[in-house]
Amino acid sequence: MTKGSVLAWAILAGARLSGAEAQTSPEDRSEPGQSALAQAAGQQGTASAREQGSALTSEPASAAPLESVVVSGHFLGSAAQSAMKLDVPVRDTPFAVQSYTESFMKSIETTNVGDLYNYMTGVKRAGNTGYDLTIRGFKTSGTDKNAIMVDGLPGLTGRFGSPPTIGVDHIELVKGPMSVLYGQIQPGGFVNLISKKPRATESAELDVKGTGYAGGGRAPGDARGYEVSGDMTGPIDAGHRFLFRLIGQYYHRNLFRDFGYEKSQYGAGGLTWNASDATSATLQFEHREVKNNFDVGLAAPRGSIALVAPLTTVYQEPGDYRDEHGNAVELSVNHSFTEHVSWNFAARSVQNLDDDGAFTSVGVRPDNVDLQRRARRNHIGRKYNYLDTGLKAELRTGEIEHRVLVGVNGGRDTDDEDRRQFFNGVHVRFCRRICFRSPDTE
């Protein structure tokens, strides 16, 4: 039995035992203390000998080979193109890959991608921007554009806010070094957001939610919010040559901290042209606006959690803000020359502008009483332009199948930073310190 195992042998022995049990006599049964496996094997041999009319000279019957079993899940996807830029099942890739489907994201009620990190093995959020992640212990930052990508290309429409899940079809998490395929990248891996594309099947969805907080000094009615989102797709013509998709979302949330709020507008769309059975092109756009209060968290004087202020506390002013505006355009083209040779091209252009004005926290003063603050205001524009193209081929050498990928990718980042205010606070009116507690309090 070439594919046998201890478990498989035990199952086969148990199956034969049930058929042979009726034919065994009391003297054929094993003594107390004999193992179940030996007992099963003995009964199997006895039954086999009786069937052939001989004793102990018969050969054991050959077992049928076991068939392979594939377990399919509904929440985690079975394919992940990000690992090798090829359409191969996750189980056939030499990397640790996980694919989180739209059904999974809906089941846990995630609004943005950052909420999903708690469900990803080895991934944690590690800062205030959408690029601040920790993947397998390797920390990424705003300079690591390949830490989180969209359709395999860098560039998010918002730097600080985590991308919304309303425009994401599924998320692929690839762990391990991938610089050969994607250029400079942290060895921990990356997160790839696969955007929703137009489909030939008509569908429409409208979702309305209400939000609130309970606990930590807040009652459910203290910080209310709402969200409205919609998604529709389908063919434009009867021949399904042109397909469309439109996605929209708006939400306004009051957060659990004092003066905390977040407002967001998101719109996305796509148009697919099926020029022939072998050629298709998809043009997509994305627009996002996010406005929220400026909040950098709480300080821990003397490094003690016991001295941290209540969770509802905020060190910034009620009028402090951060505004973000972003637009993206993406074009993808696919063409199949033959059944085994295909070519793909993808390009993505992103423009992002963020403006903030706030009193940010710098650090705890040596007296462990005062918090040093800084008056700052920034106006920053960013541009990301990237492309990726490749030729895929399937070859065969005798009984060995090969998949070949030849391609090139590249891009350019442009930052235009205008620092309009930057001042460390002293005991003056326009930038004061904050006192944690009375100096006499230990």
In this structure, the answer to whether residues 277 and 373 fall within a common structural domain is yes
Residue 82 lies in a domain: no
Grouping H, G, I as helix, E, B as strand and the rest as coil, residue 146 is helix
In this structure, the answer to whether residues 63 and 111 fall within a common structural domain is no
In this structure, the answer to whether residues 225 and 183 fall within a common structural domain is no
In this structure, the answer to whether residues 289 and 380 fall within a common structural domain is yes
Residue 257 lies in a domain: yes
Of 194, 226, 258, the last residue of a domain is 194
pLDDT tens for 368-379 read: 778 888 888 999
CA distance 82 to 153: 11
In this structure, the answer to whether residues 257 and 361 fall within a common structural domain is yes
User: Is the per-residue pLDDT at 418 higher than 80?
Assistant: yes
Of 170, 194, 218, the last residue of a domain is 194
Total domain count, the chain: 3
* Per-residue model confidence (pLDDT) at position 430: 52
CB 420 within 8 A of CB 352: no
* Per-residue model confidence (pLDDT) at position 60: 57
Residue 41 lies in a domain: yes
pLDDT tens for 153-184 read: 998 998 888 889 999 999 988 888 877 778 77
Residue 440 lies in a domain: no
In this structure, the answer to whether residues 167 and 277 fall within a common structural domain is no
Residue 76 lies in a domain: no
In this structure, the answer to whether residues 417 and 333 fall within a common structural domain is yes
* CATH number of the domain where residue 176 is located: 2.170.130.10
Whole-structure pTM value: 0.75
In this structure, the answer to whether residues 144 and 11 fall within a common structural domain is no
Give the domain range for residue 33.
Answer: 1-69
Residue 106 lies in a domain: yes
* CATH number of the domain where residue 388 is located: 2.40.170.20
In this structure, the answer to whether residues 422 and 317 fall within a common structural domain is yes
pLDDT tens for 182-230 read: 877 788 888 999 999 999 999 999 999 888 887 777 777 788 889 999 9
CA distance 392 to 207: 40
Residue 83 lies in a domain: no
In this structure, the answer to whether residues 164 and 221 fall within a common structural domain is no
Distance from CA of residue 39 to its chain's centroid?
A: 51
CB 158 within 8 A of CB 98: no
Sequence-ordered list of residues with C-beta below 8 angstroms from that of 430, at least 6 positions apart, any chain? 375
Residue 237 lies in a domain: yes
In this structure, the answer to whether residues 19 and 154 fall within a common structural domain is no
DSSP string, 23-51: G--GGGSPPTT--HHHHHHHHHHHHHHHH
Range 349-361 average pLDDT:
91
In this structure, the answer to whether residues 247 and 370 fall within a common structural domain is yes
| Alpha-carbon dihedral 51, 53, 59, 62, rounded to 10 degrees | -20
Per-position b or e across 387-405, b if 16+ CB within 10 A of its CB: ebebebeeeeeeeeeeeee
